[in-house]
Amino acid sequence: MKPLTLITALLVALGLLLAGCGGDDGEDPASEGEETVTTAESECESVELSEPTEVSLDPPPKEPSADNLVAVVDTSCGTFEIALDTQENPQTAASFEYMAENGVFDGTPFHRIIPDFVIQGGDPAGTGSGPGPGYSVDEPPPDDTSYTEGVVAMAKTEVEPPGRSGSQFFVVTVPDAALPPDYAVAGEVIEGMEVVEAIEAQGDPDGSGAPIDPVIINSVTIEEG
């Protein structure tokens, strides 16, 4: 995969800024007799989008439950694992853990898939404009934060301050996304990057962000690593 030019990356970054912080739960839409779409690295199930739902949670704990936590993300394209950054970004990690345990991500789609940039999900409306989990977390990242391949960070709107997060997250799929240090870091993919690439392959090459075929997060579970 080729890195985007700086200009293109910044244009796409605007899409991330405008994405909001949605997060919501829903039923697993997979049905019996579903077809599969074969990619170079993985097989993606043919699924339908769930109906949007609203989430309204109390604020999360400020600290994660343990030092070593792994979020196991089961999708219609397979499973990948995220090592949550409990040391450098404990509030963001604790919020991610809290949302996973409350089913916020279950049934939500990867609504924005941009080849050679990011895959993004976690919005209840499935569009990037959902209301989020009912709260926000502020944890500004250090000025030297870089968004490299496998980094998982939280999306926000342009008007929100650096480090604010709700439930939307994105996974970087290029060596350097050339983004400013505005996005709270939740962790990094440590297993199943080929699944992330399979999801990325469902993005329209025109760069619009619209998936060619839906990709659903079935569930996110938290394990001690």
CATH of the domain at 68: 2.40.100.10
Work out the angle at residue 222's Cα, subtended by the Cα atoms of residues 57 and 194, and round it to the nearest 5 degrees: 115
Which has more confidence, 223 or 6? 223
Yes or no: say if 141 and 163 are a contact pair by the CB < 8 Å rule.
yes
Q: What is the pLDDT of residue 131?
A: 83
Query: Would you place residue 30 in the very low, low, confident or very high pLDDT band (cuts 50, 70, 90)?
Result: very low
Question: With DSSP H G I counted as helix, E B as strand and the rest as coil, what are the percentages for the chain, rounded to 5?
Answer: 15, 25, 60
Yes or no: say if 78 and 192 are a contact pair by the CB < 8 Å rule.
yes
In a domain, 1, yes or no: no
Is residue 212 scored above 70 in pLDDT?
yes
The range of the structural domain enclosing residue 218 comes to 6-224
Scan for tokens 């990011």, then name that residue: 118
Mean pLDDT within 73-77: 98
Which has more confidence, 26 or 199? 199
Q: pTM for the whole thing?
A: 0.84
- Give Cα 3 distance to the centre of its chain: 20
Residue 188's DSSP bridge partners are 83, 151
In a domain, 140, yes or no: yes
Q: What is the pLDDT of residue 126?
A: 78
Residues 6+ apart with CB under 8 A from 37: 43, 44, 45, 46, 202, 213
Number of domains in the chain: 1
In a domain, 196, yes or no: yes
In a domain, 158, yes or no: yes
Is residue 105 scored above 60 in pLDDT?
yes
d(CA 118, CA 125): 19
Mean model confidence pLDDT for the chain: 85
Please name the amino acid found at residue 57. L
In a domain, 195, yes or no: yes
Mean pLDDT within 183-201: 98
Tens of pLDDT, residue by residue over 7-20, are: 344 444 445 544 54
Which has more confidence, 126 or 27? 126
d(CA 100, CA 96): 6
Yes or no: say if 222 and 97 are a contact pair by the CB < 8 Å rule.
yes
Mean pLDDT within 119-136: 88
Residues 6+ apart with CB under 8 A from 51: 26
Q: Give the E-state strand segments of the chain in sequence order.
A: 36-38, 43-45, 69-75, 78-84, 112-114, 118-121, 137-138, 151-154, 164-165, 169-172, 185-191, 217-224
Tokens of 159: 């008007």
Q: What is the pLDDT of residue 4?
A: 39
Q: What is the pLDDT of residue 50?
A: 86
d(CA 163, CA 181): 8
Residue 223's DSSP bridge partners are 70
Q: What letter would DSSP give residue 216?
A: B
